[in-house]
């Protein structure tokens, strides 16, 4: 039953969790705008926590006047649309000016409920962390925060011509790290970055890998998938899935494809590059840049642009591909890599961030230490060789099976319970200290 309480390691599981996702709604389609892996993470973990009897309420900014105040994402999971600023044409960089309005809406929603309505706040991305910090203090509950990406890390590995994250974001992240009761990192690498770059207390960082939907993303018939996409049976198919922006580096794949053709002109009749997604972030400034690049390189006829898709349609893309490329300059984990492998498709990925965890190098895919298109062309040509591809594909699904959203949800609930236990203990200690400092001294008679 939603709202029940269960014991975990001597601590209580939460009855109700407030999830904050200011800049993107879990109801949006991943792969365009600001919707991506974070949206998938929130949806999958919320649904699985609800199945375990925990009510989840997700607060996100309303982006249309047509949106209802609340909507059911799944049984036990409610999405609340908070009015904060103009509904449309407000970029992520404009949102800091609307955090006061968003916070007021979140606090107002809680005020109509009985005291102690929420047991924990889980904020996603630094903008939500700013709101969660205030909600934590007002509601007297612990704040658990997941950064998803970190400005200092992104700025240290910018794509050529990309815009660095603003100083305001860096300061905002530092504040959230200092205030959060628990920080959830996707990998040990990210945990180390939080400690070394942001001064996080090591005992407040929990490493919890994301998962993959092992019911939706499964191996399937490659020829059937190709037929559904109108691809030749003998095509050499390279796929990119995600937001089209410099950070994700889809240009590396297009340049590598051109290099593969230069080395082997006979490939032109068979090589296909699928680009599945839409412009996002700084990619919105030049939404046609990737198409223009394909034209300049003489491979426009080989590159097929497909709109973002999910569910069975996305699984078909993964199954149809000989290899899925993840050439990102920075990736906190790499959900696309896991989804592709779960479908039995090898992945070639940049050796950055959490991708060395998501991809088993030489087993389920190959990690590339650079973003040099020439090096990528060599690796892609090797991986698409029938024998090599088949060997990697045989291990891909098994590697992906090590990760599941059920494990992620269980670990989050344990982290919530531990954060609440420590929060109560520290709050009681502060109250006793204040009481001792303000108690009138006994006067001897």
- Sequential DSSP letters for 289-325: HHHHHHHHTT-TTTEEEE----HHHHHHHHHH-SEEE
**Sheet of 347-350, strands arranged across:** 303-306, 271-276, 236-241, 323-326, 347-350, 365-368
Instruction: Please report which confidence band the pLDDT of residue 159 belongs to, taking 50, 70 and 90 as the band edges.
Output: confident
Please, which residues bridge with residue 57 across strands?
A: 18, 78
Burial class (CB in 10 A: 0-12, 13-18, 19+), 429: exposed
pTM of the model: 0.89
List the structure tokens of 152. Answer: 């200092």
**236-241 and 347-350 strand pairing:** unpaired
Could you list the residues known to form a binding site for UDP-N-acetyl-alpha-D-glucosamine, using ranges.
29-30, 37, 243, 248, 309, 331, 339
Across the range 78-93, mean pLDDT stands at 87
pLDDT at 7 over 50: no
Q: What are phi and psi of 12, to 5 degrees?
A: -90, 135
Residues at the annotated binding site for 1D-myo-inositol 3-phosphate? 23, 34-39, 92, 125, 149, 169
Return the pLDDT at 33.
67
Whole-number pLDDT of residue 12: 80
Structure tokens at 81: 């649309």
Are 320 and 340 in contact, with CB atoms under 8 Å apart? no
How high is the pLDDT of residue 40? Answer: 92
β-strand partners of 28: none
- Cβ atoms of 145 and 176 within 8 Å: the answer is yes
Residue whose C-alpha is closest to residue 16's, from 39, 46, 61: 46
CATH 3.40.50.2000 location in the chain: 16-211+405-426, 222-401
CATH C-level class of 16-211+405-426:
alpha beta
| Residues that constitute the known binding site | 23, 29-30, 34-39, 92, 125, 149, 169, 243, 248, 309, 318-319, 321, 331, 339, 345
What's the sign of the alpha-carbon dihedral 335, 341, 342, 343? positive
Average pLDDT over residues 96-125: 93
388 or 31, which is more confident: 388
Contact (CB, 8 A) for 124 and 146: yes
Cα–chain center distance at 438:
47
- Residues with Cβ within 8 Å of 438's Cβ and at least 6 positions away in sequence, in order, are none
pLDDT, the chain, mean: 91
State yes or no: pLDDT of 4 exceeds 70. no
| Mean pLDDT, rounded, for 88-96 | 81
* C-alpha 42: how far from chain center: 8
Supply the DSSP symbol for 247.
G
Give the pLDDT band (50/70/90) at residue 280. low
pLDDT digits (tens, 9 = 90+) for 39-68: 999 999 999 999 999 999 999 999 888 999
Residues ≥6 apart with Cβ < 8 Å to 37: 30, 148, 210, 332, 333, 334, 335, 336
Confidence grade of residue 305 (pLDDT, cut at 50, 70, 90): very high
φ/ψ (deg, to 5) at 304: -110, 125
Residue 11, pLDDT score:
58
Least confident piece of the model among 117-131, 157-171, 236-250, 256-270 = 157-171
Residue 304 has pLDDT above 90, yes or no: yes
Which pLDDT value is given to residue 31?
66
Q: Which residues neighbour 347 within 8 Å (Cβ) at sequence distance 6 or greater? A: 323, 324, 325, 326, 337, 340, 341, 358, 359, 364, 365, 366, 396
pLDDT score of 5: 33
Closest CA to 257 of 267, 242, 243: 267
How large is the C-alpha radius of gyration of the chain? Answer: 23
Q: Is the pLDDT of residue 176 over 90?
A: yes
pLDDT digits (tens, 9 = 90+) for 371-429: 999 999 999 999 999 899 999 999 999 999 999 999 999 999 999 999 999 998 888 77
Instruction: Please tell me the number of Cα atoms within 13 Å of 258 on its side-chain side.
Output: 15
- In the prediction, which pLDDT does 13 show? 83
> Which has more pLDDT, 88 or 23?
23
Q: Residue 121's beta-bridge partner residues?
A: 18, 143
Which secondary structure element, helix H or strand E, spans residue 166, and what is its range? none
Feature table: binding site for Mg(2+): 318-319, 321, 345
pLDDT digits over 344-361, tens only?
Answer: 999 999 999 999 999 999
Separation CA 327–CA 307 (nearest Å): 19
Report d(CA 431, CA 334) in Å as an integer: 43
Distance separating alpha carbons of residues 167 and 169, to the nearest angstrom:
5
The CATH number fitting domain 222-401, selected from 3.30.70.1070, 3.40.50.2000, 3.40.1130.10, 3.40.50.620: 3.40.50.2000
């Amino acid at each position: 039953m939603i709202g029940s309480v269960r014991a975990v390691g001597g601590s209580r599981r939460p009855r109700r969790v407030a999830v904050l996702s200011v800049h993107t709604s879990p109801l949006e389609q991943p792969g365009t705008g600001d919707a991506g892996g974070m949206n998938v993470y929130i949806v999958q973990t919320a649904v699985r926590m609800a199945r375990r009897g925990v009510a989840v309420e997700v607060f996100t900014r309303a982006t249309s006047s047509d949106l209802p105040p609340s909507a059911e994402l799944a049984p036990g999971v409610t999405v609340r649309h908070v009015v904060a600023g103009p509904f449309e044409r407000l970029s992520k960089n404009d949102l800091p000016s609307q955090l006061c309005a968003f916070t007021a809406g979140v606090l107002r929603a809680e005020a109509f409920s009985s005291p102690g309505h929420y047991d924990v706040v889980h904020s996603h991305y630094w903008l939500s962390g700013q709101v969660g910090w205030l909600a934590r203090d007002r509601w007297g509950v612990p704040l658990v925060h997941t950064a998803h990406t970190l400005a200092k890390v992104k700025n240290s590995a910018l794509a050529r011509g990309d815009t660095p994250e603003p100083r305001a974001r860096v300061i905002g992240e530092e504040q959230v790290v200092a205030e959060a009761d628990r920080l959830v990192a996707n990998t040990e690498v990210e945990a180390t970055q939080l400690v070394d770059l942001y001064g996080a207390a090591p005992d407040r960082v929990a490493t919890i890998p994301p998962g993959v939907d092992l019911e939706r993303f499964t191996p399937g018939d490659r020829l059937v998938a190709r037929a559904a996409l109108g691809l030749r049976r003998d095509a050499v198919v390279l796929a990119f899935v995600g937001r089209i922006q410099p950070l994700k580096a889809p240009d590396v794949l297009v340049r590598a494809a051109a290099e593969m053709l230069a080395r082997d002109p006979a490939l032109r009749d068979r090589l296909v590059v699928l680009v599945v997604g839409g412009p996002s972030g700084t990619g919105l400034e030049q939404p046609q840049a990737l198409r223009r690049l394909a034209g300049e390189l003489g491979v426009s006829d080989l590159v097929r642009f497909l709109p973002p898709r999910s569910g069975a349609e996305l699984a078909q893309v993964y199954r149809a591909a000989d290899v899925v490329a993840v050439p990102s300059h920075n990736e906190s984990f790499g959900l696309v890599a896991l989804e592709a492998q779960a479908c039995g498709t090898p992945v070639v990925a940049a050796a950055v961030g959490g991708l060395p965890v998501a991809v088993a190098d030489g087993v389920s895919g190959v990690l590339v230490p650079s973003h040099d298109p020439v090096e990528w062309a060599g690796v892609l040509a090797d991986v698409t060789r029938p024998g090599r591809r088949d060997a990697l594909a045989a291990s891909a699904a098994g590697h992906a099976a090590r990760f599941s959203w059920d494990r992620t949800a269980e670990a989050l609930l344990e982290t919530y319970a531990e954060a609440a236990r420590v929060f109560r203990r520290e709050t009681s200690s502060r109250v006793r200290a204040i009481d001792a400092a303000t108690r009138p001294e006994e006067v001897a008679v």
